[in-house]
Amino acid sequence: MTEVAGRRRILVTGGSRGIGAAICEGFAQLGDAVAVHCSANRDAAKALVASLPGTGHVVAQADLRDADAVRVMVDDAAAALGGIDVLVNNAGVFVTHPIDKVTYEQWQQAWADTLGVNLVGAANVTWCAVRHMPSDGSARIVNIGSRGAFRGEPRSPAYGASKAALAAFGQSLARALGPSGVSVTTVAPGFVETEMAAASLEGEAGVIRRAESPLNRVASPSEVADAVVYLASRQAQLASGSILDLNGASYLRM
């Protein structure tokens, strides 16, 4: 991972497990102080904070669908850390809701929950976090997107739409916040070996998923974390506005 001079203040949403936990570990290994956000599983977040190298790490809890709770969470995290240098919008939900299989009520709920966390929640966290960021060119926002934003998600259209919108949101903010020295990027993984994806990677389904890539594998959480840590570094300022595909050539786009 890229070494960055100085101790930075990092807020990672959805940081208690999976990709988020690997990202928290990556920054902590560099000596940064990390606020580990969780929605409901505070015990998992506390356990991760206790296991991270270094000191100054804190738990930050909020339902990202609750705009008021988001503001309190971000302000409290910034107060505990002394500011925010890097925001990683990692929290996300994936709800299966094929349009021809669910009721109208299920359809509405899937869209409300998915957009509430993956898009509107991320937008609200970002609005709040920007108020605590320095303007010396070192601040970074890294969004965790998905290849589903580009290839489509027929069984979870709200997820695909939320991640496509998150990518566009990041590019809009790269333009809006550039004059303030804030660099904004997006990482778009394919399947990753996490608890959330475990069922899709088991048995014959897992064989098919891995075969989508000419590398015949999917990413590990640490590989996504490495990409995030790099994009958050001073060396990556000119990557602002970019979307880094991290799917092993399982889906290619222009």
Contact of 167 with 145, CB cutoff 8 Å: yes
Q: Running DSSP on this structure, what letter comes out for residue 119?
A: I
Which residue out of 104, 159, 230, 251 is catalytically annotated?
Answer: 159
Residue 196's CB is within 10 A of a number of other CB atoms, namely 15
Would residue 159 show up in a list of annotated catalytic residues for this protein?
Answer: yes
Q: Which residues, in sequence order, are bridge partners of residue 1? A: none
d(CA 137, CA 31): 20
Q: Which residues, in sequence order, are bridge partners of residue 143? A: 89, 186
Structure tokens given for 222 = 């640490």
Q: Running DSSP on this structure, what letter comes out for residue 5?
A: S
Structure tokens given for 76 = 């409290």
Active-site positions?
159
